[in-house]
Structure 1
Amino acid sequence: MEKRYQGNRLRQGRYSEAGRVYHVTAVTNGRYPWFADYHLARRVCRTLLWSDQAGATSTLCYVLMPDHLHWLFQLGDGESLSKVMLRVKGRSGRLCGSAVWQKGYHDHAVRKEESIRDVARYIVANPLRAGLVSSLRDYPYWNAAWL
């Protein structure tokens, strides 16, 4: 039986927990490489900073690939994961001048027994595994709290 993407129904029954660390992956419409464009990529990176400054999130690390985003953050007090993602995807899409994001996203609440630094290392190594660069220092669209 073919599994079909169910958008918002994908995570029914899940709830957000303020202070919890989440790893979220959001993909562009049709996997189009919008963020191969420097100006569009910088707009998304600035949107993540905006979310942190508003107190909605506290970014631990992210990497923006040409066609998707991996973002590790702690959810702010009084926030819900779905509202944060709606605001970030909506604002960054408006700044890019298009509906760049696919509906929905994948989230993983990081468990206590998981190493946050190991998750972060996995996230920021994405450009290396994808063969975009041979050294992470050569990839411009990532950041980590430990730097």
Structure 2
Amino acid sequence: MILVHLASSWPDVLAHSRTAAEVTLSAWAQISDDRLRQYGDAVLGVYQKEVVTAFDITGWSRTREGRVVFEGNPSRRWAHLIGTPNPGKPWVRGQARPVQYLDTAILASGAVPVEDAASGRRAVVDDFILTVDAEGSATLVVPSGRRVTVITTPVS
């Protein structure tokens, strides 16, 4: 998955002078062919630390300057991420490259070591404890002062 920072272009969408597809799929610099092969399944647009667009990449081309222009469709698979926090690293002011790469498996599988416990299956990530019982109900223990965002997705 490719994450693109829409800091300067998303205001055009809000002003109705450009479309979400234009600003998300438009010409992105310094993306290698290897990165496209490895991460080029989807592109998320991020504005002010939040996902604002999600597209499945169906193809791409290069401009004369070597910038990548994506072809894509609004993503049904990743649409649930719209309105959620950036799943990548925070962008910092003055950062030269507004592109990040994220292994889609991180969002798709969320694989962490799981142990069997008396109360169900249990996983611990950064002091967050998630337990899922035999009926599929979940309990989450959250460290003090931390925040939780709940995202529901359609059952596949």
TM-score normalised by the chain length of structure 1: 0.31
Larger RCO (CA within 8 A; separation ≥ 6): 1
**Which one has a larger percent strand, Structure 1 or Structure 2?**
2
TM-score calculated relative to the size of structure 2: 0.29
More helix by share: 1
